[in-house]
Every structure is written in structure tokens, then in C-alpha cells.
Amino acid sequence: QVQLEQSGAEVKKPGASVKVSCTASGYSFSGFYIHWLRQAPGQGLEWVGWINPKSGGTNYTQNFQGRVTMTRDRSITTAYLELNWLQSDDTAVYYCARETRRQESCSDTSCPLYTWLDSWGQGSLVTVAS
């Protein structure tokens, strides 16, 4: 079955960096984008970005531009999220999730491609405190 296993909790000081891993199993790693999201304590879900494991291409939300790097190692089916210049408001549970796609038939004007996050890691708590 599809599984995403994330690395353990981390405690970091302000200004430091953190690297969270997400190891995939049970499916073809290169065939599905991996998204990263985070959830601050008691708050909602915030999307960080995605990586295409096949090409290494990435897309980051503007809020994290310049501070975030997503990478992958296909040989060990693992994706990574690295976040730099940590501040206290980066304290959150970080999730990886697999994107599944469904291509619909083309109409006169469009060829809809539906995507959703069908499998999630268990989450990695990152705490930033001095």
C-alpha cells in the first residue's frame, strides 16, 4: 500500500535551518508529485509547494520564496523540505502528501486535469525556540 514516512520531530533555534524527509513506498515514486504543507498549532493548513520527483522541478508559494528548497533522491524514494532562517512562527507540523491526477476528456475549450492529495505522511513537528 502507499505509504509516506516522515522524519522525526526537530527543535531548532531562531535563524537555523531544518530539513524534513519523506520516504515513499508502495508506488512508483517518480510518477507522482509530492506536496509539502504545514499546520501551526491550532491553525489551518498552509500549502508550501510541490516537487516533481521525476524532473526535480519545483513550485513554491510566494510566502516561502527564498527560504525554502525542495529536493529528492530517487534512489531512495525520498523527498526533502529544507527551510532556512527559521523564526518562532515557523513552529508547525510539516506534512508531505502525494498528488494524484485525473485527466478528463478535452472539450472545445479545455482539457481538465484534476489533482488532489490522496496519501499523506504522518507529519513532522518542527519547534523553533530560543
Partner 1 sequence: DIQMTQSPSSLSASVGDRVTFTCRASQSISTFLNWYQQTPGKAPKVLIYAASFLQSGVPSRFSGSGSGTDFSLTISSLQPEDFAVYYCQHSYNSSSIFGQGTKLQI
Between CA 61 and CA 67 the distance in angstroms is: 11
Restricting to residues 94-123, name those near partner 1 by CB under 8 A.
95, 97, 102, 112, 114-118, 120-123
Q: Work out how close the CB of 104 gets to partner 1 at its nearest, in angstroms, rounded to a whole number.
A: 8
The residue among 19 and 101 lying less far from partner 1, judged by its C-beta, is: 101
How big is the CA angle at 29 (ends 23 and 35), to the nearest 5 degrees? 70
27 binds partner 1 (CB under 8 A): no
35 binds partner 1 (CB under 8 A): yes
The identity of residue 115, as a single letter, is T
25 binds partner 1 (CB under 8 A): no
Between CA 45 and CA 47 the distance in angstroms is: 7
Instruction: Report CA-CA distances (Å) from 66 to 59, 62, 129.
Output: 12, 9, 22
- The size of the interface with partner 1 (CB under 8 A), counted in residues, is 23
Restricting to residues 39-98, name those near partner 1 by CB under 8 A.
44-47, 50, 59, 61-62, 95, 97
Q: Work out how close the CB of 130 gets to partner 1 at its nearest, in angstroms, rounded to a whole number.
A: 27
Residues in the chain: 130
How big is the CA angle at 86 (ends 80 and 90), to the nearest 5 degrees? 85
Positions touching partner 1 (CB under 8 A) are 35, 37, 44-47, 50, 59, 61-62, 95, 97, 102, 112, 114-118, 120-123
